[in-house]
């Protein structure tokens, strides 16, 4: 996929400048949300946060050599290790057995505030895809760990691609689990991508 050259650019994460204040609003269903200046939103009630656990089918795992304690569990019948990574900056890459969907994992010992991540991601992606935009951002809890799910659409060679990302940042370091696939077929892979991301575990 020709669009993958953009991956290298978006992996560079640095400190972001401060932004204007968030705005509280109420949905048509009466639920209070917080609108961010970057166009994303989140529920103001932490009880609205979805919780994910490692699926029973996720029996294959890899351990990060960059950040001790980071483990990634997956269904080995659906995800295979890539013979060649699309970028050498990735610690791991897995391709879906059906093709047209890949996941790369990047870990680092640095800390990046979760509230800054999506804006930095999109700012870096704009160098390769000026029309790239954040579609959605939400907090999740995976195996007891707070993470962010971020959806981004970007156009390369007149084709719209969907980046679906799980981002974690804590005292041990950061990890980005980045899936990418043509937007029109993303729904076919969404559940299996989320199952993959739900296999992120931090061991002491």
pLDDT in tens, 26-50: 765 565 667 766 555 566 665 578 8
141 within 8 A of 49, measured Cβ to Cβ: yes
Q: Is the pLDDT score of 15 beyond 50? A: no
Phi, psi for residue 117 in degrees, rounded to 5: -60, -55
> How far is C-alpha 24 from the geometric centre of its chain's CA atoms?
25
3-class SS of residue 100 = coil
What CA–CA distance (Å, rounded) separates 20 from 184? 34
Question: Per-residue pLDDT tens for 60-69?
Answer: 999 999 999 9
Do 22 and 141 form a contact (C-beta atoms < 8 A)? no
Q: What pTM did the predictor assign?
A: 0.78
pLDDT score for 181? 96
pLDDT at res. 25: 76
The architecture of the domain spanning 2-13+49-202 is 3-Layer(aba) Sandwich (3.40)
CA-CA distance, 57 to 79, in Å (whole number)? 12
B/e letters for 2-29, b = 16+ CB within 10 Å, e = fewer, are ebeebbeebbebeeeeeeeebeeeeeee
Measured over the CA atoms of residue 130, residue 135, residue 138 and residue 141, the dihedral's sign is: negative
Confidence (pLDDT) at 120: 87
- Residue 171 scores a pLDDT above 50: yes
Higher confidence at residue 178 or residue 9?
178
Residue with tokens 């009630």: 45
pLDDT of 7 strictly over 70 = no
Cα separation, 59 vs 99, whole angstroms: 21
Task: Report the C-alpha gap between 32 and 71 in whole angstroms.
Answer: 35
Q: How does pLDDT run across 83-135, given as a tens digit for each residue?
A: 999 999 999 999 999 999 999 999 999 998 888 888 888 888 888 889 999 99
Predicted local distance difference test score (pLDDT) of residue 8: 44
Residue ranges covered by each domain of the chain: 2-13+49-202
Report d(CA 74, CA 59) in Å as an integer.
6
Q: Give me the percent of the chain exceeding a pLDDT of 70.
A: 81
């Amino acid at each position: 996929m020709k669009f993958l050259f953009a991956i290298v650019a978006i992996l560079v994460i640095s400190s972001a400048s401060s932004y204007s204040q968030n705005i509280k609003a109420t949905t048509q269903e009466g639920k209070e949300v917080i609108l961010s200046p970057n166009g994303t939103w989140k529920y103001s009630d932490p009880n609205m946060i979805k919780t994910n656990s490692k699926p029973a089918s996720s029996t294959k795992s890899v351990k990060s050599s960059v950040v001790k304690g980071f483990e990634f569990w997956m269904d080995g019948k659906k995800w295979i290790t890539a013979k060649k990574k699309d970028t050498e900056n990735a610690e791991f890459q897995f391709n879906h057995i059906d093709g047209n969907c890949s996941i790369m994992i990047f870990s680092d010992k640095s800390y990046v505030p979760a509230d800054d991540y999506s804006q930095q991601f999109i700012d870096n992606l704009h160098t390769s895809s000026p029309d790239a935009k954040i579609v959605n951002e939400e907090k999740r809890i995976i195996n007891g760990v707070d993470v962010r799910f971020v959806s981004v659409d970007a156009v390369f060679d007149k084709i719209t691609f969907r980046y679906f990302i799980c981002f974690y940042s804590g005292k041990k370091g950061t990890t980005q689990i980045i899936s990418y696939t043509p937007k029109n077929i993303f729904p076919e892979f969404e559940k299996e991508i989320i199952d993959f991301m739900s296999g992120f575990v931090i061991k002491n």
